Every structure is written in C-alpha cells, then in structure tokens.
Amino acid sequence: MNDYELVLRGLAHMLGPFADRLEVVQLDAEMRVTVDVDVALYDTFAQPHPDDEDVSRLAANPRIKTVAVFTWKMDQVLIDAAVRRGATGYFAKSTSAEELADGLLRVAAGNHIIGRPIRRVPSGPGIDWPGRERGISDRQSEILALLTQGKRNAEIAELTHLSVNTVKTHLQTLFSKLGVGNRVEAALWGTEHGFTPDHRSVDRTDGS
C-alpha cells in the first residue's frame, strides 16, 4: 500500500525471487482490496501524517488478516503508535529482501515481528524510490515528495523525524541537483517528474 506506483513496483520486484512463497496481489494504487489477503504491507514513503490512521483503516478491513509497516522511520513513538493501531509487523527499509519475505511469512502466521528503534535507517538492497535514477537520495526523495504535496519545512521535519535545519540542508542539495532556485521551482519539477501522489491509496471500508 502506497500512493506511488514506482514504490509499489519496486517492492514487487524486490519480493519477486520469493514468488514460490509470496504473492503480491495489489499493484494498482487506485484499486480497493477486493480479495482476502494475509498481510497488507503499508509503505510509509511520503505519508502525510506522522502517526497515520491509515494503519487503523487497514487493520479494520475484514479482507485483510493483518498489517505490517515498511518504513525509513524506526522511532519508538511511531512503532508504538502503529502497534496500537493494529500492526503486527514493523520493518525497516534496511531489511534485506530475504529478511522481509521471511518476516512477512511469520506475520502472516500470526507472529508479531517488530523491528528495534534505529536513529537513521539506510536503504537496503532492492529498495526503490522516485528520482533515484537522477541521483536523488532516499531521504531527499521523500522530502521532495512532501514538498510537492505543499508541506512546509516544519511539517516535513515532523513527518521525516529530522530537524528543520537538516531539512533545509537537504532542500539546498536538492535545488542544486535539480537545477532550480527555490522551493516553488522544486515543487513544479516534482509535479512534472512523478513526485505527486496518485491519491490516498489506503483502502477504506466506507467506500470513500
């Protein structure tokens, strides 16, 4: 579950070698969950809220057995919030494809697999994000996606669990890489290059 098709496709490719054990059944962000699934894997890339109630919506869906979170943000507060909302898995994006596959199978079997808090999560092998092919880092990609959504620096800092000064530093680096002079031009670049979310992709049981 994510608003960005590239993120979904990248995850499907990452789990491809384990097709004998796992089947990815949801690739279109515009589709509601219409079949029974063992695990809804919620990718938090550019999520619009620090403690996202979407986990609660997924956990409440009768077609979804359980929910796991896949994220760069391994803060204890966020981990605890996701567990309270019904997640039984919480995986860092530094997790290898094999570790993620094994973890998802264990979550599907009814186990609670919750990663330990990590201050800074590096990207694991196989992870993809918008702008990677242009030399934009994982963290810069998420910041640009949030900027394209209209978020201010303070909001971006809260959502990414970075300081405002760190966000400003990333933005200056982004401006240089993109060849733009300010955040308005960066947001326009993002809109033109796939950094606008498709929509709120998380399935809603009320049909909205």
pLDDT higher than 60, residue 115: yes
What global pTM score does this model have? 0.83
Domain count across the chain: 2
φ/ψ of 38, rounded to 5, equals: -75, -40
Separation of alpha carbons 208 and 190, rounded Å: 27
Looking at every residue in the chain, the average pLDDT score rounds to 86
Region for residue 86 given its phi and psi (left: phi exceeds 0; alpha: psi -120 to 50; beta: otherwise): left
Please state, as a whole number, how many other Cβ atoms lie within 10 Å of the Cβ of residue 140.
19
Q: Which residue has the higher pLDDT, 90 or 160?
A: 90
Q: Cβ distance 105 to 23 under 8 Å?
A: no
- Provide the pLDDT for residue 205: 46
Q: Which residues pair with 64 in a beta bridge?
A: 37
The string of pLDDT tens digits covering residues 48-66 is 776 668 899 889 999 999 9
Nearest Cα neighbor of 194 from 155, 136, 151 is 136
For residue 52, the domain's CATH number is: 3.40.50.2300
State the residue range of the domain holding 31. 5-114
Task: Name the least confident of 95-104, 128-137, 141-150.
Answer: 128-137
Task: Looking at the structure, tell me whether residues 9 and 108 fall in a common domain.
Answer: yes
3-class secondary-structure state, position 9: helix
28 falls in which pLDDT band (50, 70, 90)?
low
Separation of alpha carbons 66 and 46, rounded Å: 22
- Provide the pLDDT for residue 122: 67
Separation of alpha carbons 93 and 192, rounded Å: 26
Separation of alpha carbons 163 and 179, rounded Å: 24
Task: Identify whether 152 is part of a domain.
Answer: yes
Task: Looking at the structure, tell me whether residues 88 and 178 fall in a common domain.
Answer: no
Helix axes 138-148, 183-192, angle to 10 degrees: 100
Task: Identify whether 57 is part of a domain.
Answer: yes
